[in-house]
Amino acid sequence: MARPTAELINALRQTAYNLKQGTPYQWGHMGGCNCGNLAQELTKLNKNQIHQYAMQRHGDWNEQAEDYCSTSQMPIDLLINEMLNAGLMLEDLKHLERLDDRQVLLRFPFEERFLKHNVREDVIKYMNAWAELLEEQLLEKITLPSIDAFEWA
């Protein structure tokens, strides 16, 4: 599961919002699919640039994650590296493309867990639920000093 970071949480929420507002979505397009839309938000590249980078190597996001090399200078690997630096793990790319991370799905009532990976509304629901999960994990790590730690004048 992704490392909970404010950058990733914000990117997930902004991507879900963009999709809800009608940003281009096309599951079969490497720059306009589930991962492609999140990549746009994290990297500030447009969907055509992302697609062009991905087409320099074979495969969908699942295969791109499998073939990822951190020392490669291939544009798609540099792009994936930016996404990993924001808190994602390679497995998250695979799960996002299929909307099948168990931890995220468990946040939905049983009858709502059967999301379709290529349906815009399901992608929006999944990204928002994932952002909520990561936010909860991030907040668990934050400890504020107790009031006893302050000296009062």
Task: Give 125-132's long-range contacts (Cβ < 8 A, gap of 24+).
Answer: 126/96, 126/99, 127/12, 127/13, 127/15, 127/16, 127/19, 127/38, 127/96, 128/12, 128/13, 128/16, 129/104, 130/2, 130/12, 130/96, 130/101, 130/104, 131/9, 131/12, 131/13, 131/16, 132/107
CA gap 8, 137 in Å, rounded: 12
Confidence check: pLDDT of 150 > 80: no
| Single pTM value for the model | 0.89
Least confident of 3-12, 37-46, 53-62, 137-146: 137-146
pLDDT at 143: 78
pLDDT of 140: 87
**Whole-number pLDDT of residue 142:** 80
How does pLDDT run across 34-66, given as a tens digit for each residue?
A: 999 999 999 999 999 999 999 998 889 999 999
Q: What is the pLDDT of residue 24?
A: 95
Can you tell me the mean pLDDT for 118-135?
97
**Cα dihedral sign for 72, 73, 77, 79?**
positive
- Could you tell me the residue ranges of all domains in the chain? 6-149
Q: Is the pLDDT of residue 147 over 70?
A: no
Report the share of the chain in percent with pLDDT over 90: 83
pLDDT surpassing 70 at residue 69: yes
- How high is the mean pLDDT of the chain? 93
Give the model's pLDDT for residue 54. 92
Q: Which conformational region is residue 11 in: left (phi greater than 0), alpha (psi within -120 to 50 degrees), or beta? A: alpha
Which stretches of 76-144 are assigned E, i.e. beta strand? Answer: none
CA-to-CA separations, 1 to 17, 23, 49, 77, 147, in angstroms, rounded: 22, 26, 27, 20, 34
